[in-house]
Structure 1
């Protein structure tokens, strides 16, 4: 009797809690969770596994109860169903409370939340109507499977929130084989760096879930950094925060990516390191790097050249290839219809030398062989040496010691060879001298030194050897010169100081926006007098040092100040507060590449404003300070107009300009669009800026309206 009374109390509690859950779901928008309640929400990960086990156990017991007709199991089945219902609603309520904390992807949270609630409602309904459901085997199966499916979806969404997209299904999903652009077109950031960030970082650093206030979705947001500053510092010895976090022990709470999420591979870590070390350019192409540059050498394994090889050998029998393919050895054609094969080995514990000998059936078709981290020995190289058409061979971090390199001397087509992380010695590479086609050899994480590299270059004049980063052999790079002023707008003129911490460095500059060079550009000797709008670029040089990075900034002249401004059209709602009745346009503060700062005012509809002068002012130009950030849908104005006259009722068109539009995605930048006209006195001017009405076809948001972002209005 006591047990029945207890079950009744628990059942009524389930009804009450599910009613509360339903209420909170529909009024979720108004829910505010105090700190002491947040503690309950954070216990959600601790509580969620219990209802999963109970629901699955209850399903199994219900099936057994139906098939065995064993009535003694009925009280146990009732208890399990009731316990599952109570535990599920508790877990769902805790999850709902946890969802109100910041830093979660709203879409993923919403689906996970509703699926969790559905589990709770289903389990309560199952217990409530358990006796009727037990009358039909089909009803038991339908109810149980429904719970399992909803539970699977909820679990998948929960894993996505915790471990990143497609965590549950990742092992069985087709994986991206890498960039498809040819080497000649590959941009380092777009095709090497961004895919790494998307796969390993953006699960936690996106607009919906910005951990540490860091968003990596666009270059401008990446440069903006998070609450701890920018992700990297090219002048720091450890290259800044990003590389610091990557190299922390995996069990350190600040290690990135966090423990339990997909980690960076050694190649990915090295690519990030080399990119930052080179200056972290967002526009540089792979082919802009020197031929022996480490990053270019590494990138060569990710991209294919435009030079299309033709093969004169016949394709291997498809049935033979099918028979050779296993879970740990994958053989695929290099391209559709190509007889050339790419062979990859996985699972070091399953590798045996005989698996290489099996490939003799297709040895003439193998062009690429990937054996990284396999326990390959020098004796195995004897077999590999018979793959006569081999062009790419990856032996990095294998147990090869070098004596067997002589077996590779017959591979006359071999172009790329990786021996990184092996025990080879410098003298052993002499065995590769007959390989006239050899162009790149990776030997980082070996005993090779810069002195050994010099000897190798003499012996192999056409081969680039990558020995990786050696701190004691790197020529120092000059610090970037610094503009010693925060002032970007001036009335009459501005004296600009340019400094470099290395006093013996020679700094050259330009005022027209062109790139300074080491021969013809003016040498900085004293403050530069700027008396008109100019884009200043500077770079420092010193014999024996690597040339500094470029520094650039735009400076604007504004010789006339209006007495007041009136906004005819209001900015978009989220930018109204910062507009400050138009003062943001004439406060002398130029915005930078981050559109989220108070200087910028955003419009999706045409911007219109009136500027007033107590005394007539003679104007000949108006410059609209603008931001261009194509990745954030912020484009140059489609058209800018300036109207002027003695009163607002008697204005005439003074001038118009249509700024040129980007033709591809580029990093965010600030600029000024000048509208010139014949000089004339005015007491009122009307300014109009029309946004682009339809984003171009190359843009991800093609057809949508663009934003126009303005800050300073400069009058001369």
Structure 2
């Protein structure tokens, strides 16, 4: 036994000297392949010295003074445990040093963990060398044992931080402190559905401390950047790119992610990532923006609570009847696709009459929302409104109601939101709301109700949230952007009225049509009489004294006078985004921002080149491409647009050329029209050429790659 102890001690001493030598000259250290394999055994053996040191520390704390032969034999056996711990500690440290030389580890993050491992190796060997002297004094024994345990805990924690992130140890406590239920109305797809998956299954290997494959997944910018193997997703390919490729690889393959032995993604988590990427990987996409019945929306419905998830038990109203009830002053529309619920919006006060409410008699069961803001509504009109038994939201802001008929609304057992801003309602009348069964939110800004009145109301009606706005004190609120009520943005015939609205009384809408930002002095004031009869880019803002002006609202109207007999693609579109019907570019149907949903024609490998023949000559002076710009998905504006025309398909002349402005940074997804104008020319054939960006710029995550062009409509004149 003594001979083996001597051999093991000397080997441990040599290994510790080697460890110190390698650390001193670490910058020149090149690890051969066979030692890399040994280095990767570091996680396999690191538990041996830790367990043995803990066992020895606990044993010596309770080891009796060794006087009898039995006690001496016991002490020698225990000391052999410490010697084995010293040998395995230095072996583990050497393996860890070899492993640290591989790619993907941050040297700064490894620094203290590395020196902690070296300290354990040297301390354990010294502890064994002097263990007999240490055992003679109980206080030294206790101090040495506790120091060893502390060294193990600190070094182990630093190692876990390298592998799993700095907050790995305290993550459950942080999650417990921060995690609050998210209502489905407030949930964001990336923040609340995608990011938790990445944090649980990916970031342990792809963080600032340990960037496997040079990939860090701790921010939106770094996710877009990707790693040494390229970007993480590509919505233009069938398998959606690298991330999902690796996830779907067989478990046995080396490149499968997460690696074998680590927690794997569930089917639902894979579905969330797939659907999110397929929708364009929008970091700002909210669950509330998803269509009813959408796959992500259905998953979200299971994951999140809802502050108001109505289940309607009534039938849909007749479609023809709904269409008939839509007038120049009133819009009746479905609350959501596939839902029987209807919302009613009135927007022109000068045309409003009480009879227009009574005309809704046949659909009153289906109405869940009525917006009467700024209409000359009287208390008597509340009688009909109270008969809309399924009403959830009612906007009576800046109407003529006095509050005397408010109690009639008590019959609305589902009413949750009531806006009384800008009315003559009194605090005493608001106390009647105590008996409203489901009422949760009441808007009372710009009323004569004082601050003291509101405080008393809040004490008496604790289940209702009273929302106040600007009252002339130090509180300044920001206006919401104007709302567009036009349903169609393609113009094919007579001029159409521009329908803009704002719900705050006294708010002035100013707008521009030249692309400039509206200001409060020079820009035109929206009067409600404006007509749109051509390609028009509307930018509008709301202004009101004492309020912060709104963000800019933007919309585009497109005019299309002529339609060709057919379209001949001289160069073929991408196979995945081709014109199956031959009518996609002239069906006056806008594509979705999520281009995976169809109605887009796309080009990448070759330029867009198509011929448009007409049965008889037409006079043209402009051609507009309605396009998608999704910089993160490599979808850029065309690099060059050319329009050729003439009466002979084989002898066309250049009519106009346009070089669209290119983005200079990542930006939100937008739809944009590019109009190529030229002198009025009579033609029988038009040839359109649009050239994609050949190489994406240096600032782009996919720099050097080819760009895409996505077109959903061609508009002539």
TM class by smaller structure: 0.3 to 0.5
TM-score, with structure 2 as normaliser: 0.43
* Bigger radius of gyration: 2
TM-score scaled by structure 1?
Answer: 0.43
